[in-house]
Structure 1
Amino acid sequence: MNFKKLLLVALLGMSINQHAFAERVQIDKVVATVNDGVILQSEVDQIIQRVKEQAKQQNTELPSDNTLRIQALDRLVDQTLMLQLGERMGMEISDAQLDQTLANIAQEQGGTIADLRKTVESSGENFQEYREQIRKEITIGQVRRANVDRRIYISPREIANLQKILSEQTGSAEEFDLGHILVKIPSKATPEEIEDARTRADKVIEFLNEGREFKRIAIASSSGPKALEGGQLGWMSINEMPSLFAEAIKGKKKDEIVGPVRSGAGFHILKVQDIRGRQVVETTEVRSRHILIKPSIILSEEKAKEMLTGFVADLRAGKADFAKLAKEHSEDPGSALKGGEYDWTDPTTYVPAFRDTLLSLEKNEISDPFRSSFGWHIVQLLDKRVADKTEQAKLNRAHGLLYNRKFKEEAFKWQSEIREQAHIDIFPAE
C-alpha cells in the first residue's frame, strides 16, 4: 500500500472515530444536577436495566419506562447527595475494606470472589463497575449511619418498658413480611390535593383487592423508599416498625391489605405478605481452662510448641497439675491467676482456632498444642451446657427494635432535610 493510500486510511479512521465519539457524547447526556454534581442518562439507564432484569427473573410485570425513569432519578438524587456529603466528611472506603465486603457477599452465595466475578460478568455487567458500585453503597451506608446515629437516644427506661411489653405480649414473637405503598401528599397541600391523593390510594387498594400484583403496583405508584424493590420492607415485628404501621396491622392475617393509613407524608397502603413466630433462644456454653505460650525473639515457634507438648504428656500421665502449670507458665494475664480457667462462655466469642479446638473435645479432654493469632495453646474442656438466653435475647432485641424504629424514622427526616437544603434540577425527558 503506497503512502497516499495509508494517509487516506488514517484520515478515514480519524473521521470514523470522531463520529463515534460524537455519538457517544450525544448519547450520554446530563439529565439532572445536584448541587455541583450531575446525573447522567447512562446512570439512569443502568438502574432501569437492572430493575428490568430482576423483574424478568421474578416474572414481575413493570410499569412504563417513564415511571421507572422517575423512580431511578429519585434514587440517584439521594445517592448523589449522600456521596457528596461523604466526600465533605472525608469518608473513604479502602480497597482492603471493599475486598472484604466482596468476599462476604461471595461467601453468602457459597463461593469466592472469582465466582462472584463470573456471576456478575455472565449477567452482562462489568465487574469493575460492580465493584465501584459496592464501594458507593458502603459509603452511603456509613454516611447515613454517621449522621442518623447521633440523632438517636435510647434510654434504659425505654428498653426496660419494651422488654416488659415483649414478655407480656403473647404475640410478641410475631414478625411480619410487609409490602408498602405510599401515595405522597405535597407539603402544604390544599384540600383538593389531599382528596386527590386519597382517591388514588383508594384506587390502588381496589386494584390490589382485584388480585393485581403488589410489586408492580408499588413500582408504578409508590413514593416510598423501597418503591423500586416493589415496596418490599422485609421482616419486622410490630415493635420494630413505625408506630403507625404497628397499630394498623395488629390482628391482621396473611395476605390482608391494610389502609389507606394517613400520615404527614401521605396515604400508606400495607400488605401482610407473611407472618412468622420466634422460638426460645438457647446457646451452648462451655467452661474451660488453657495455657498460652507466646513465641518471641527468645522463644521460637518450635520451642513454644515443644514446651506445651511436654505439658500435655505430663498432664495426661497424671504427673502435673493443670492449674499450677497455668499459674507458672501461661501468658494470658486474664486467666493465669485463676489456673487458666474461663467461666461459662459462648464459644463463638473466641477466635476460630480456639473455638474449633474447644468444641472438638470431650468433657475433661486436653487438646494437643495448637496455634491461634495470640500464640500457642493447650485447652481442656471442663464442662458444657445448653443455656437459656431468652431473657438476654429479649433485652438485646428490645434495644435493637427501638434502635431500628428510631433509625428508620430519623433517617427519613434526615434525608428530607438534606434534599430541602440542596439545589436540585431535573431536566424533562425528550
Structure 2
Amino acid sequence: MKLSRLISTALCCCLSLSSIAAEQEIDRVAVIVDNSVVLESDIEDIVKRVKRNAAAAGQTLPSDTALRTQATERLILTNLQLQMAQRMGLQISDAQLDDTIRNIAQGENLSLEAFRQQVITEEGDYQRFRERVREEMITGEVVRANVQRRVYISPQEVESVMKLMDEQGASNEQYNLGQILIAIPNQASNDDITEAKSRADKVLQLLREGSDFKRIAIASSSGSNALEGGDLGWMNINEMPTLFSEAIRGRKKTDIIGPLRSGAGFHILTIFDIRGENVAEINEVKSRHILIKPSIILSEDRARTMLTDFVSKLRSGEADFAQLAKQHSEDPGSKLNGGELGWSEPDVFVPAFRDTLNRLQVNEISEPFRTEHGWHIAQVIDKRTVDATADKKRQQVYRMIFNRRFNEESTNFLRELRSDAHIEVRSEG
C-alpha cells in the first residue's frame, strides 16, 4: 500500500511538472529587448485583440505572420519606453489610472461598473485591460517628456502662420488620414532606398487595384499606427507634417497619395474622411495647484502623504490653499501666486492634470495625483465659456504648429530609441 501511494504521488508530481513545463513552453521568451523581454503570450494577446476588433468592424486582415510581426514591433517599442520610464522614475498610481478609466467610461456614456462589464464581455480580463491602460499612460508620458524639449516655436513663427492662413482663407477643415510607411534604415545605402521605393510602388499598385488600405497598412506599414490600419486620427492641415499638408491640398476623400519621401522612408497616404470644425466657444477653467517633487531625500510615498495631509486640512478648514502653496509648492511659476494657474483650457496641461481638472467641480479639491512633474493636488476655482477671440486663435495656431512638430519629433525619438537598442528575436512563432 505504501509503495502504491508513493507511485501515485510520484505520478502526480510528474503530471504537475509536465503541466508547468507546458505552461512555460507556451509563455516562452520571444524577444530580448535590452534588459527585458517580450513574451509569446503578449504577442498572442495583441494578435487576438486585433482580430477581435477587426471582426467587430467587419474588416479583413492580412496573414497571422504579418499580424505577429506588427504586434512584436509594437511590444518592442513599448518595452523600450517602459524601461526608460523606470530609469526616469516615472510611475502611474492606481488613483491616476482610476481617473483615466473613469474618463474613458464617461466618454462612452457608461457608468464605471457598466464599462467594466463591457470590458469583461469583450476582452475577458478587466485587470489586464487596466494594466494595458497604465502602460499606454506611461509610454505617453515618456514620449511627452523626451519630445517636448525638442520643440521650440517662436512668436514670429505663430504670427507668420496666422498671416498665411488669413491670406489663403484657410478653413477649419480636419482630415482623418491613413498612412502606410515603408521605412528605410538609418544611414540607408542606395540599395536600401531602391528596395524600399520598389516595395512602396508595389503597395501603391495594390491600393490602386482596389485593395483595402487598412489591411495593407497592417500587413506592410512600419508606422506606429500600423495595427490601427494606419489611422493617424483627425488633424487640421496645419497640424500635419509639412510633407503631408502640401500633398493633400486639393485632394478629396479616398484619394491615394504618394509615395512621399522623408527621412523615415516612403509614405503612402489616404484621406479616410473630411469634416468641418467650427469652434465658436472655448471652455476654460481657473485653477490652482500644489506640486511636491519626489527626490533622493523625499520619497514618492512621503510626497503623496504630505499632500494627503494638506487635503485633509483644506477640507476641514484648518489650512488655506494659497498659504500652503506659497510655503510648500515646488512650481516656481505659480507658488508665489498661491498656486494659481489663471484661466486656461484644460488641454494645455499634461493628460493626468487635464483629466483631473475636467473631473473636478468648482471649489472641489482633488486627491493627490502623479504627473511627470511630481505629485499634485489641484482645485478648480471657477469655470467659464468664452468666445474664440484673436488671442484664442493665436493659441490654436501655436497648438497646431506644436502638434505638427511634436508628431514629427515623436517619430524621430522612437526611431532613435529602437535603433540604439539591443534586440534579439528568439522565436518566430
Q: Give the TM-score taking structure 2 as reference length.
A: 0.74
* 1: CA distance, partners of 2:83 / 2:344: 45
Check 1:3–1:123 CA distance in 2 against 1; reply closer, same or farther (3 A cut): farther
- 1:73-152 to structure 2, matched below 5 A, reads 73-152=72-151
Amino acid at match of 2:106: Q
- Please state whether the residue corresponding to 1:183 is helix, strand or coil: strand
Determine if the alignment matches structure 1 residue 352 to structure 2 residue 351: no
Corresponding residue for residue 221 of structure 1: 220
Looking at structure 2, the residues matched to 263 and 399 of structure 1 have their Cα atoms a distance apart, in angstroms, of 24
Tell whether the 8 Å contact from 1:180 to 1:224 is kept in structure 2 after alignment.
yes
Q: Hey, what's the Cα distance between the residues in 2 that align with 1:8 and 1:162?
A: 82
Question: Which piece of structure 1 moves more, 249-258 or 274-283?
Answer: 274-283
Q: Is 1:230 matched up with 2:239?
A: no
Q: In the alignment, what sits opposite 2:70?
A: 71
Paired letter, 1:46? D
Distance 1:296 1:96, change over 3 A: closer
Partners of 2:403 and 2:205 in 1: CA distance? 32
The 1:276/1:187 distance shift into structure 2, 3 A limit, reads same
Distance 1:198 1:14, change over 3 A: same
For 2:71 and 2:359, the matched residues in 1 are separated by 44
Residue in 1 that maps onto 2:243: 244
Looking at structure 2, the residues matched to 60 and 3 of structure 1 have their Cα atoms a distance apart, in angstroms, of: 62
1:203 partnered with 2:202: yes
TM-score by length of 1: 0.74
Cα displacement (A) at 1:29: 0.9
Q: Distance in 2 between matches of 1:230 and 1:351?
A: 36
Report which stretch shifted further, 107-116 or 176-185. Answer: 107-116
Tell me how far apart the structure 2 counterparts of residues 95 and 295 of structure 1 sit (CA, whole Å).
25
Q: Following TM superposition, by how much is the alpha carbon of 1:283 offset from its aligned partner in structure 2, in angstroms?
A: 5.7
Q: CA RMSD in A?
A: 3.1
**Contact 1:253-1:272 within 8 A present in 2 as well:** yes
C-alpha distance in 2 between matches for 1:89 and 1:193:
35
Higher-Rg structure is: 1
Contact 2:197 2:266 in 1 (8 A): yes
Alignment of 1:156-171 (within 5 A): 156-171=155-170
Percent sequence identity over aligned pairs: 43
| C-alpha distance in 1 between matches for 2:125 and 2:359 | 39
Tell me the equivalent position of 2:193. Answer: 194
Pick closer, same or farther for the CA change 1:14–1:116 going to 2, 3 Å: farther
- Any idea what SS the aligned residue of 1:150 has? helix
CA distance in 2, matches of 1:200, 1:413: 22
Separation of aligned partners in 2, 1:374 and 1:216: 45
Structure 1 CA distance, aligned partners of 2:21 and 2:360?
A: 58
C-alpha distance in 2, partners of 1:250/1:205?
A: 19
Q: CA deviation at 1:242?
A: 0.3
Partner of 1:426: 425
Tell me, what secondary structure is at the counterpart of 1:123? helix
| Structure 2 spans left out of the alignment, 5+ residues | 285-314, 319-336, 338-342, 346-356, 365-378
Larger relative contact order (Cα-Cα within 8 Å, sequence gap ≥ 6): 2
- Stretches of structure 1 that go unaligned for 5 or more consecutive residues are 286-293, 298-333, 335-343, 356-372
Deviation at 1:157, TM superposition (A): 1.2
Report runs of 4+ in structure 1 exceeding 6 Å deviation: 2-5, 348-351
Give 1:22 deviation, angstroms.
0.9
Partner of 1:266 in structure 2? 265
In 2, Cα distance between equivalents of 1:29 and 1:354: 52
Over 3 Å counting, the alpha-carbon distance change for 1:388 and 1:129 in structure 2 is closer
Displacement of 1:391 in angstroms is 2.5
